[in-house]
């Protein structure tokens, strides 16, 4: 583990610190590295599989490095009923990757997420921390252009 | 020393008493009432993952899992009401809907608890058409073989490994349909600590965990020689 990673670990040894640790790793490194998971498991005295389980459960934690901009389209029911499948398709066409992938130039990562609380303006997506709502396939290319 | 309180409850119409801290399931079993269970095992911490042991409790908004709900004074419990039976049946149907369904080929078919419960509850052909969970068989380890397509996520292996074997080999990762029992970073199981253990294999209710069969194992006896 590098020096930078040590600073991210909180002092407490309690297991309830796990999620906080993973969130910090995510914001510090842009993902949760494997070495970090090993170290976290050690310091909290839990198994690696348990830490990996928590890290893979949450949509906003990633165990793989992500691109510069992260697109997260809501896959929950209200957005689905408002045709989020079409939005997913048009993002795929626009940047040429499927959910779970990162563009070769590292500019975009494309993820599906659980509800982001914008159901009243569905379908919705997040790009980094910006919420985009009332999406139509026509709006996608312009929105993405502003992040290129 | 604190005196253990006696608690009186009504279970299926008859008044019975139990001790403080007992679960509904334990009280039912003590009184000869059979409640089916899948994820529950007396030697493990109850977690109520499978919901097959649900019962109706008067005044409760939902059905409750009997394996993890403690009895309280004056509780009125129904273990076999029509709603309870129907719920159990649908739960099994849902478990079977994404199960691989290859009972004919499964070595554990005749000791499978999922299949036994399905038969007991008279669950027929699956009503729900959905994707099947599929994972390739993990046969890297000489001590344990995992076929996760048959896993019903009861957490028994996870708990048994933590609580009985004290090895913490397993965890559950991912979410929803993709949930899966994993080892470390979702690697095929191949651990030295699994060598003489078998705790999880014995406790698995389905064919998901088994001992790898060695070629020729069944033919160890002396060859039959017929002399004329």
Taking one residue from A and the other from B, the number of pairs with CB-CB distance under 8 angstroms is 43
> For each of chain A's 148 residues, which pLDDT tens digit applies?
444 444 444 445 677 889 999 999 999 998 999 999 999 999 888 899 999 999 999 989 999 999 899 999 999 999 999 999 999 999 999 889 999 899 998 899 999 999 999 999 989 999 988 999 999 988 888 898 888 7
Do A46 and B174 lie within an 8 Å CB cutoff? no
What percentage of chain B has pLDDT greater than the value 70?
A: 94
Under 8 Å between Cβ of B189 and B146: yes
Peptide bond into A123 cis (omega under 30): yes
The pLDDT, as a whole number, for residue A16 is 81
Residue A64 belongs to some domain of the structure: no
Give yes or no: residues A94 and A115 share one domain: yes
Residue B226 belongs to some domain of the structure: no
Domain range spanning residue B113? Answer: 90-210
Closest residue in B to A48 (Cα) is B184
Under 8 Å between Cβ of A31 and A63: yes
Do B175 and A50 lie within an 8 Å CB cutoff? no
For the stretch B5-64, pLDDT in tens is: 789 999 999 999 999 999 999 999 999 999 999 999 999 999 999 999 999 999 999 999
Asked if the ipTM is above 0.85, the reply is no
Give yes or no: residues A20 and A82 share one domain: no
Give yes or no: residues B113 and B35 share one domain: no
Give yes or no: residues B128 and B202 share one domain: yes
The tokens describing B155, both together, are 């957490």
**Domain with B201 in it: what CATH number?**
3.30.70.20
Domain range spanning residue A89? Answer: 69-145
- Enumerate chain B positions whose Cβ falls within 8 A of a Cβ in A: 168-175, 182-186
What are the chain A neighbours of B185 within 8 Å (beta carbons)? 34, 37, 48-49, 52, 63
Give yes or no: residues A35 and A98 share one domain: no
Residue with tokens 């842009």: A30
What are the chain A neighbours of B170 within 8 Å (beta carbons)? 47, 49
Q: Give how many domains chain A has, as a whole number.
A: 2
The pLDDT, as a whole number, for residue A2 is 43
Do B168 and A56 lie within an 8 Å CB cutoff? no
Residue A127 belongs to some domain of the structure: yes
Q: At what angle do helices A48-57 and A34-44 cross, to 10 degrees?
A: 120
Give yes or no: residues A48 and A91 share one domain: no
Counting Cα atoms < 13 Å in the Cβ hemisphere of B223 gives 4
């Amino acid at each position: 583990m590098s020096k930078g990673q040590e600073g991210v670990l909180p002092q407490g040894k309690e297991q309830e610190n796990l999620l906080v640790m993973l969130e910090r790793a995510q914001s510090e490194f842009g993902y949760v590295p494997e070495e970090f998971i090993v170290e976290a498991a050690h310091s909290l005295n839990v198994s690696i599989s348990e830490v990996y389980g928590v890290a893979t459960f949450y949509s906003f934690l990633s165990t793989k490095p992500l691109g510069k901009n992260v697109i997260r389209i809501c896959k929950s029911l209200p957005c689905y009923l408002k045709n989020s499948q079409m939005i997913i398709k048009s993002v795929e066409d626009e940047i040429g990757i499927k959910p779970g992938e990162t563009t070769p130039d590292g500019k975009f990562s494309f993820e599906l997420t659980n509800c982001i609380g914008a159901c009243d303006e569905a379908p919705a997506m997040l790009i980094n921390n910006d919420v985009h709502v009332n999406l139509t396939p026509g709006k996608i290319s312009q929105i993405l252009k502003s992040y290129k | 020393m604190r005196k253990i309180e006696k608690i009186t409850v009504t279970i299926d119409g008859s008044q019975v008493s139990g001790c403080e801290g007992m679960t509904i399931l334990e009280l039912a079993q003590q009184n000869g009432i059979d409640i089916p269970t899948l994820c529950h095992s007396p030697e493990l911490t109850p977690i109520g993952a499978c919901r097959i042991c649900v019962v109706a409790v008067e005044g409760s908004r939902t059905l409750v899992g009997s394996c993890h709900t403690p009895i309280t004074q004056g509780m009125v419990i129904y273990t076999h009401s029509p709603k309870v039976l129907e719920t159990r049946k649908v739960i099994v149907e849902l478990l079977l809907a994404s199960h691989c369904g290859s009972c004919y080929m499964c070595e554990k078919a005749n000791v499978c608890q999922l299949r036994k419960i399905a038969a007991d509850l008279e669950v027929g052909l699956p009503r729900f058409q959905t994707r099947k969970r599929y994972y390739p068989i993990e046969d890297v380890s000489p001590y344990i073989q995992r076929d996760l397509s048959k896993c019903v996520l009861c957490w028994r292996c996870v708990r048994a490994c933590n609580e009985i074997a004290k090895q913490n080999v397993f965890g559950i990762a991912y979410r929803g349909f993709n949930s899966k029992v994993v080892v470390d970073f979702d690697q095929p199981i191949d651990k030295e600590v699994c060598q003489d253990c078998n705790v999880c294999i014995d406790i698995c209710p389905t064919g998901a965990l088994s001992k790898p069969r060695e070629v020729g194992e069944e033919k160890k006896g002396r060859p039959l020689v017929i002399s004329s």
